[in-house]
Chains A and B, each alone.
Chain A
Amino acid sequence: DAMVIQNPRYQVTQFGKPVTLSCSQTLNHNVMYWYQQKSSQAPKLLFHYYDKDFNNEADTPDNFQSRRPNTSFCFLDIRSPGLGDAAMYLCATSTTTSVREQYFGPGTRLTVT
C-alpha cells in the first residue's frame, strides 16, 4: 500500500545532542510537510517542500532544519534540542501546493532528557 513512513516511532535524545527524524513516502507526492504537535494541541507547521523548493514558516526556530534529497525522503534535523522541543513530529504529503487532503505518517515522538 502507498503510504507515509516515519522512523523511528520513538526517539530519545539528550539536551543539546543533535537528532534527525526520517520520513519516506511511496505516494510520489511532490509536497512534503513537517509539523510539530505538542500534547493535545493542534499540529503546527514547521516547513514544507514543494519538490526541492524549501518553504520555512516565519516562526520556525533556526534550531530546526530540513533536507529533501529526493522525492521519496525528507529529514528533520534538530541541531540542539531543548526540553521544549519534546513533541510528536508529523510528516505529511500532498499532491500539489493547492492542498487537497494531506496524508500523514504515524509520527515520531521525541523525548529530550
Chain B
Amino acid sequence: AQSVAQPEDQVNVAEGNPLTVKCTYSVSGNPYLFWYVQYPNRGLQFLLKYITGDNLVKGSYGFEAEFNKSQTSFHLKKPSALVSDSALYFCAVRAYSGAGSYQLTFGKGTKLSVIP
C-alpha cells in the first residue's frame, strides 16, 4: 500500500530562518508526491508536486521540495519563513484505488508555527 509519513507533529521556526517540514514515502513503482497547506477553517491548497524530472521542485509562495529516492523522502523547504506561513502542512502520495482510479493518501499533517 502507498503511504506517507510526517514524523513531526509540530515544527517551530523563527521568522526569517529557513524551514523544513519532513515527509517520507512508501510506494511501489514511481511515486507521485504532493504538498498541500491548510489554514484554519479552510480547505487544502495545493503547493507543489513531484511527478518526474528534476529532484528539486518549486511551488507556490516560495516553497520548494526535494525528492530523494535513496532516502524515500520529499521534504518541504523554504529559505526564509514568514509568520503568514504558519499553517498545517500535508504531504500526500497518489495511490491506486482500483477500477482505473487513483486517490490521494495524506500524511497526518505537520503544524508549522513561525515565531515573529
Kindly identify which residue among B43, B101, B109 contacts A42, using a CB–CB cutoff of 8 Å. Answer: B109
Query: Can you list, as one digit per residue, whether each of A83-110 has a CB less than 8 Å from chain B (1) or not (0)?
Result: 0000010101000011111111111010
Kindly identify which residue among A97, A101, A103, A106 contacts B42, using a CB–CB cutoff of 8 Å. Answer: A106
Kindly identify which residue among A92, A97, A99 contacts B32, using a CB–CB cutoff of 8 Å. Answer: A99
Give the A-B pair count, Cβ closer than 8 A.
Answer: 63
Q: Given known contacts A43-B44, A50-B101, A90-B44, is B106 in contact with A101 (CB within 8 Å)?
A: no
Write the nearest CB–CB distance from B93 to chain A, whole angstroms.
10
User: Does B44 lie within 8 Å of A104, measured CB to CB?
Assistant: yes
Number of interface residues of A (CB under 8 A): 27
Q: How large is the interface on B (under 10, 10 to 19, 20 to 34, 35 or more residues)?
A: 20 to 34
Write the nearest CB–CB distance from A12 to chain B, whole angstroms.
15
Chain B interface, DSSP helix/strand/loop, else mixed: strand
Chain B contact residues, CB within 8 Å of chain A: 32, 34, 36, 41-46, 49, 51, 88, 90, 94, 97-104, 106-109, 111
Chain A contact residues, CB within 8 Å of chain B: 4, 6, 33, 40-43, 45, 48, 50, 55, 57, 88, 90, 92, 97-107, 109
List the 5 closest pairs (A to B, CB-CB), nearest first.
Answer: A104-B43, A42-B106, A99-B102, A101-B46, A97-B101
